[in-house]
Every structure is written in C-alpha cells, then in structure tokens.
Amino acid sequence: MDKKVTIYDLAKELNVSPATISRALNDHPSISLNTKKRIVSYAQRSGYRINKFAANLSKQKSNTIGVIVPKLNSYFMSSVLSGIEKVANGHNYNLIISQSLESENKEKLNTQTLYDSGVDALMVSLAFGTENYDHFALFRDQKIPLLFFDRVCHLPNCPTITIDNRKAGADATEHLIQNGCKNILHVGGHLKRNVYTDRFTGFKDALNKYGLEYKPSNFIETNLDAAKIEEIIDHLINSKEKFDGIFFANDAMAVACMQSLLKKGYRIPEDIKIIGFNNNPISEIIQPNLSTINYPGYELGVLAGQSIISHLNGNINIESAESILLKHELIARASSSSTN
C-alpha cells in the first residue's frame, strides 16, 4: 500500500480503458451499471484514491472556495466562517481561509495566491485599510465569482451580504434617545469601511430625526482595539461635553469601556447609557447586560455560502443578486434602560 494506484492501474487490472474507469468513478451516465459496480468495488478494494491535482488540471476547477477575512479570531468572523464551512462542506467544497490582518497589502497578496490556487470563487471581508480594489480585477476578468460580506465594496457584478448598517445604527441611536439620552457619543471604526460609515450615518440620521444637533465631538473614529479604551475614557471625562449615552460600533469596545467606567464609579445606565453592536455573547455577561444590535454571523455565513454555491452550480445568477441584506434586530438590555 505504498505506491499510489492510478486509474491506469485499475484499467489494466480490469481490462478496460482508463476512460471507463473515470466514468465509473464519476457517475457518468453512459456506462453500464455492471461495469460501474465492478470498477467501483475494485477501486475500493485496491485502495485507489483520486488525484485531485490531475483532475483539477484537466477540469480547470478545484471545488475550492477562497475566503479572506481581516482576522480569524473574532467571535463574529469565526461564526461567519463556521457557517460558510458548514454549507461548503455539505456541497463538497473545501475552504481555503486566509487573514489579511487588516493590511491592504496582505489582502492583495492573499487575493493573488488564491487566484493562483485556482479557487472556484472568492469571498472577502475587507481589511480596515483597503482603499484600492484593483487586486480583485484578476477575478473579475476571469469571471470567477467574487462576493463581499460584512465589510464590503461595490464592484460591478459582485454581490454583497451585510445587514442594513445604516438602519441598525439609527435604531441603536434612536433607542438611546427614546430612553432619554440627549447628548450621545458614537465610538466608531475606520470610516473607510462601509459598515462603520453606515453605522455613523445612521447615528446622524437618528440625531437629526429627533432634532438633536450633531457636533464633531459626538464622534470618535477608532480602530476598535479594546486595549485603547483609555483614549475614549479621557474624551468622555475631560471633554466639556457631558455625554449621557454612548453607541459603540462593537460590543468588545462597549464592554471594555463599561468595565472601566464602572471601576471609576459611574453608574450604568443611570449616569450614562450604553449600546453596542453585534450581540457578542459577552454582552450578556457584563453587568449590567449590554444592549446591542444582533448581527447574525453564522446565518450570514450560511447565506453567503449558499449563494456562492448555487451560483457555481448554475442554479442562480449571482450577478442578479446584487446585494443581500440580513435582518438585524435591536436587543434592549439593562445598559440602556430608561431611568427617568
């Protein structure tokens, strides 16, 4: 069992042609049930294993999907990936996953590698810093399906899957307002990325809707690194402004901030109300529980996987599905409850 057995070996052994072997092993319609059975059974016994290198070369198809994410180890992204993997696996697709680590250059390199690897489709969530999308041209030129999720950009014929971040941002903000906040701070992420600009826009929408003035001091752009929470605390404490509510672009930041504020003696929600984003499980561990927007990562992954695969199978035309919006949901918890 050390030399690998090929279809030629099987062919010789069974006195048929390699083509017949191939047909038998691939459920090709034009082959008699008998020879098929004979071949499959013998292949089985002989320990034959297909050589995908050869099959891929011949078919110019790999049954592999490339995925590029900013980082693997975040609750949200790993949920998405889990969803994608689940459906891919169920359809005989493999996933090659790589991280851009928020670097445009690495994203570019990964894109090229995945192209060279011959993935049948590419799914990407953009790095913070990506400003130029030329590296995706390879895929578009070759008409290889390209789909963006969560942190997306809008290229012709490339579907996107997200939630309505603008509406969600407005919902979160409106919730704070309805619970009595008059001067809200929004702690956002890099404004290069749709998800953060949209949430920010939604934030301003809501202020506007309720006749609250938006001033530049109502917004801080961050890299969402919870380690840098002290900057925000400084802004909160030292600013002339007295903020009575904060809308964070993600839960991790919100929780880190809550911990710091609580330690400093702030009362939440009495002194300041807080809402996060994502519905990370930590939002239900922190006391008081953190209000947030549910952004269903696993479901997003499943949906993304399904739409890529049904496109690859020719079932739907992905290009017609320009952009899919998942439903989000406001989850009101104690961190923002009314205290009047």
Partner DNA sequence: TTGAAAGCGCTAACAG
Partner DNA sequence: CTGTTAGCGCTTTCAA
Q: Which does 99 bind (CB under 5 to 8 A by kind): DNA, a second copy, none?
A: a second copy
Return the number of the residue (53 or 156) whose C-beta is nearest DNA: 53
d(CA 42, CA 38): 6
Task: Pick from 13, 14, 91, 118 the residue near a second copy by CB under 8 A.
Answer: 118
CB 310, min distance to a second copy, A: 20
Q: Which does 75 bind (CB under 5 to 8 A by kind): DNA, a second copy, none?
A: a second copy
Edge to edge, what strands does the sheet with 245-248 contain? 219-221, 184-188, 245-248, 273-275
CB 54, min distance to DNA, A: 3
Q: What are phi and psi of 199, to 5 degrees?
A: -65, -40
Nearest to 42 by CA among 16, 81, 71: 16
Return the number of the residue (104 or 198) whose C-beta is nearest a second copy: 104
* Helix ranges restricted to H, the chain: 7-14, 18-25, 33-46, 52-59, 75-90, 104-116, 137-141, 165-178, 194-209, 229-238, 251-263, 297-312
227: phi > 0 → left, psi -120 to 50 → alpha, else beta; which? Answer: alpha
* Residue 218 CB coordination number (10 Å): 18
Return the number of the residue (33 or 227) whose C-beta is nearest DNA: 33
Residue 60 in the binding site for a second copy (CB under 8 A): yes
What is the Cβ-side half-sphere exposure of residue 138, based on CA atoms within 13 angstroms? 17
CB 122, min distance to DNA, A: 19
Sorted by sequence, the CB contacts under 8 Å of residue 292 that are 6+ apart come out as 172, 251, 254, 275, 276, 277, 278, 279, 280, 283, 331, 333
Q: Which does 320 bind (CB under 5 to 8 A by kind): DNA, a second copy, none?
A: none
Question: 269: which DSSP letter?
Answer: T
Q: Which does 146 bind (CB under 5 to 8 A by kind): a second copy, DNA, none?
A: none
CB 91, min distance to a second copy, A: 12
Map residues 284-303 to x or -, x wherever contact with a second copy holds by CB under 8 A.
-xxx---------xx-----
* Residue 214 CB coordination number (10 Å): 15
Provide the token pair at 4: 């690998």
Tell me the CA end-to-end span of the chain in Å, nearest whole number.
77
Q: What are phi and psi of 188, to 5 degrees?
A: -110, 180
Q: Which does 110 bind (CB under 5 to 8 A by kind): DNA, a second copy, none?
A: a second copy
Residues 186 to 245: which contact a second copy by CB under 8 A? none
Question: 110: which DSSP letter?
Answer: H
Residues 71 to 110: which contact a second copy by CB under 8 A? 71-75, 77-79, 81-82, 85-86, 89, 92, 94-99, 101, 106, 110
* CA-only gyration radius of the chain, Å: 26
145: phi > 0 → left, psi -120 to 50 → alpha, else beta; which? Answer: beta
Residues 242 to 271: which contact a second copy by CB under 8 A? 255, 259
Residue 335 in the binding site for a second copy (CB under 8 A): no
Q: Which positions lie near DNA, rule CB under 7 A?
A: 4, 6-8, 15-20, 22-23, 25-26, 29-36, 48, 50-51, 53-55, 57-60
Query: Residue 98: beta bridge partners?
Result: 68
Q: Which does 141 bind (CB under 5 to 8 A by kind): DNA, a second copy, none?
A: a second copy
Return the number of the residue (17 or 338) whose C-beta is nearest DNA: 17
Return the number of the residue (15 or 340) whose C-beta is nearest DNA: 15
By CB under 8 A, name the binding residues for a second copy.
1-2, 4, 49-54, 56-57, 60, 62, 64, 71-75, 77-79, 81-82, 85-86, 89, 92, 94-99, 101, 106, 110, 112-118, 138, 141-142, 255, 259, 281-282, 285-287, 297-298
